[in-house]
Structure 1
Amino acid sequence: MESQTLKDSRRYDIDWLRVIAIGLLLIYHVSIGFQPWGRMIGFITSKEPWAALWVPMSLLNIWRIPLLFFVSGMGVYFAMQSRSWGELLKERARRILLPFIFGMFVIVPIHLLIWRKYYGMEMSYNWDPGHLWFLGNIFCYVLVLSPLFYWIRKNENRAWVIQAKEILSKPWGLLLTLIPFLVEAVWINPLPFELYAMTWHGFVLGLLAFFTGFCFVMSGEGFWKMIQKWRWLFLGIGLSLYLLRTFNIQSFPPSYLLATESYSWILAVFAFGSLYLKGPSKSLRYLSQAAYPVYILHMIFLYLGSSWIFPLDIPIALQFILVILITFAGCFGSFELIRRVSFLRPFFGLK
């Protein structure tokens, strides 16, 4: 009976958003290879930049990573329903910490060595979590916040928790949840805002998003119905602030405006996702299982594809398409192997 209840309460829109966010992450990383600053952050770059790609990239880059932190916090809420505190930590250590350590010492060195070889550098490697910094952050959040989460769950029928849920089901409740993000943005004042990897900005913002995502999904249907009702407002605010910074002559807009824009886009994504991304499917089951290994592996195939394609004298748009195809084909081809080999599965976060 309990398992059936958990099955019925599962939010497939959140599963879809996780899959979509990982897909956008791959495309965004491919796009970095066509930006003149890509090599400065350790990417293999094309000799011919493609400036037009920056338009969609700049729209995505202030909310794509925070969205994943929100979704991760939501996932912990559902995981807690059938696990004790110790079981949750053990499960997250197996599915997050183990792939993080494995990836840091096995996966990341491979793509960094491909990068160094492409640019004729010394073939050496220093300890670096690379793109897997996200996993390290998530595991820290689980360790820090899970005692608080279980305490809230234990008191879920208390008046103060019920009142908190009611507040989060009101539009003005969202303004209260926005305040910590504004404080973080003003306090740390990150330049640029989208620099999340291994920064205090990324860590604190991720912690806030992880906790807020947990609170959102705990609030139940009242929250989802409210954001569905106001979805066009969230979309309008996000788009307006994006256009403002796009056509503003200032190099760096105020951090509090970027935090507000990021939050608006995320609320819009959750609102539209909850309306249109419904129900289980074979595609969702497959992609949900593939998302984690694809995320862990994608930099290897991105760097391989870049090193093969960028020296070719072909149109820049064709380079972009070919690198995407190689990245996705390599990732999903590897996933098909990994999911069939039992001893490999735990290293890529699979049960």
Structure 2
Amino acid sequence: MSTPQQFAAQERRIDLDWVRILAFGLLIFYHVGMLYVSWGFHIKSVHRLVWLEPVMLLLNPWRLSLLFLVSGVASRFMLGKYQLAAFARARSARLLIPLAFGMLVIVPPQSYLQIVESLGYPQSSYLQGFADFYVQHYLAFSAQFCPTPCIVQPTWNHLWFVVYLWVYTMALAGVLALWPAGADWVGERLGRVLVGPRLLVLPCLLFAAWRLFLFPTFPSTHALFGDWYNHADYATAFLIGFLLARQESVWRDIERQRWVALAMAVACFAAFILVYAGLFPRSPMLRWFAGSVYGCYQWAAMAAVLGFARRHLMTADGPVRRYLTDAIFPYYIVHQTAIIVIAHALRGSGLSAGSEAALVISGTALTCIVTYEVARRIAWLRPLFGLRMEARSSGRIAQRQPA
């Protein structure tokens, strides 16, 4: 078993940086896809792409859980550099400042355009209408425009991830304040349990249990309170990453079993899609089967991604990785607002679905790049976009630990 000293010598996990970059990068494509499928979203395109739903279901069960797992690993390594109180302060500043800024500045256009497209809004211009909406409704701190769409204002929308990550981090800090040796003690024992086939089977059973027993009663809301299925799912992934971050034997085993995990993921996803497609009559047994394969697909897909990333990206360092490691959190903050604003502007343009989506994707990517390039160069903007306050050195900004 590797010692903390051995891990301290390893400055960062390059493979997990890439996993985080790729997972956040998928958000742009995923949220653009939400414009075209039957699932609820803030605004919708006039086009519907039925074939897109199975493609998005390929990502939906595990992409966010994987991000929480990687965040758990990053939190464990950060604790090797900070005292617990300093760690809690640093994480709070890194997460809560951009959350507050995002809710007050970045997110409001999403809510406004949702109301414009759902109900219309009296206006002589978009600027005047948005200003009136912001003052009269967005800052009302209550449910607005009920019953359709009945949204609580102000809202965090896609920034719910930041809220949940902060809550899990602070809860973990509270436990470690009472039991400082808990992370190592539990991590070591968990590492001994998750060996061989148990590495794939036991977490699979846990995620399946959440799907079977919590999801039917507590469907996903991202509203923090009462969102118990999501909390069980994401907190489990976060704790797995945190507790196993220093268990090198487990990471080697994940790499060794990557092909098994991939085969397991393919089989579980195929079974889930057959149920989702409605090829079998609904029954309690079918519901149990669907929930079980969904939960197992979650973990198998995560294990496969982590295993292949460790195998092929462990040493894939370079300027692109360093740049994107710093940029990806600002990209995340602004991407959904960019998608909604651009998609709304293209409404009624008569473009095909492919042309429309290409413009939304390219416009969103450009918005993300420009936002980051501006924010990283202006000291007071940096913390608002989740970047640390730091001095320039030789004309460039040093890269730091990811969120």
More helix by share: 1
> For residues 15 and 313 of structure 2, what CA distance do their matches in structure 1 show?
5
Relative to the length of structure 1, the TM-score reads 0.90
Say if 1:350 and 1:190 are closer, same or farther in 2 by CA, change over 3 A: farther
Task: Provide Cα deviations, 1:6-47, integer angstroms capped at 9, x if missing partner.
Answer: 46342111111111011111110000001133xx332x2111
1:270 aligns with 2:306: yes
Of the structure 1 ranges 57-66 and 173-182, higher mean CA displacement relative to structure 2 is found in 173-182
**Residue 108 of structure 1: how far off its partner (Å):** 1.1
Alpha-carbon distance between aligned partners in 2 of 1:260 and 1:49, rounded to the nearest angstrom: 30
1:275 Cα deviation after fit:
0.8
Shift of 1:212: 0.8
Alignment correspondent of 2:364: 327
Larger radius of gyration: 2
Between the aligned residues of both structures, percent identity stands at 26
Between stretches 135-144 and 123-132, larger displacement belongs to: 123-132
For 2:184 and 2:67, the matched residues in 1 are separated by 29
Q: What does residue 84 of structure 2 align with?
A: 85
Hey, what's the Cα distance between the residues in 2 that align with 1:321 and 1:171? 43
- Partner residue, 2:244: 216
Q: What's the counterpart of residue 268 of structure 2?
A: 241
CA contact (8 A) 1:190 1:255 kept: no
Alignment of 1:149-168 (within 5 A): 149=176, 154=181, 162-168=188-194
Is the 1:63–1:266 contact (alpha carbons within 8 Å) kept by the matching residues of 2? yes
1:207 aligns with 2:244: no
Change (3 A) 1:190 1:286: farther
2:223 matched to 1:187?
no
Q: Give the alignment partner of residue 8 of structure 1, picking from 10, 29, 47.
A: 10
**Using the alignment, how far apart are the partners of 2:37 and 2:189 within structure 1?**
48
Map of 2:173 onto structure 1: 146
Tell whether the 8 Å contact from 1:70 to 1:209 is kept in structure 2 after alignment.
yes
Q: Distance in 1 between matches of 2:6 and 2:258?
A: 31
Is 1:197 matched up with 2:233?
Answer: no
Residue of structure 1 equivalent to 2:32: 30
- The verdict on how the C-alpha distance between 1:189 and 1:115 changes in structure 2, with shifts beyond 3 A counting, is closer
Partner amino acid, structure 2, of 1:117? V
Please tell me whether the aligned partners of residues 30 and 320 of structure 1 are also in contact (alpha carbons under 8 angstroms).
Answer: yes
Moved more, 249-258 or 276-285: 249-258
Q: Give the corresponding residue for 2:202.
A: 176
User: In the aligned structure 2, how far is the partner of 1:164 from the partner of 1:102?
Assistant: 39
Q: Residues 49 and 341 from structure 1, CA distance in 2 versus in 1: closer, same or farther, beyond 3 angstroms?
A: same
Q: Say whether 1:295 aligns with 2:323.
A: no
2:160 paired with 1:133? yes
Determine the C-alpha separation between the residues in 2 that align with 1:309 and 1:17.
Answer: 32
Give the C-alpha shift of residue 215 in structure 1: 2.0
Give per-residue Cα distances to partners, 1:273-323, cap 9 Å, x unaligned. Answer: 111113321101111111111111112210121012232112211111111
Tell me the equivalent position of 2:391: none
- Helix, strand or coil at the partner of 2:245: helix
Given that 1:69 and 1:209 are in contact with CA atoms closer than 8 Å, whether structure 2 keeps it comes out as yes
Preserved CA contact (<8 Å) 2:272 2:293: no
The alpha carbon displacement at 1:113 in A equals 1.5
Q: Name the aligned partner's letter for residue 258 of structure 2.
A: R
* Counterpart contact for 1:93–1:139, Cα < 8 Å: yes
Q: RMSD of the alignment, in Å? A: 2.5
Contact 2:92 / 2:166 at 8 angstroms: preserved in 1?
Answer: yes
Matched residue SS, 1:33: coil
Could you tell me which runs of 5 or more consecutive residues in structure 2 were left unpaired when the two chains were aligned: 122-132, 139-152, 389-403
Report if aligned partners of 1:70, 1:210 keep a CA contact under 8 Å in 2. Answer: yes
In the alignment, which residue of structure 2 is the partner of 1:310?
347
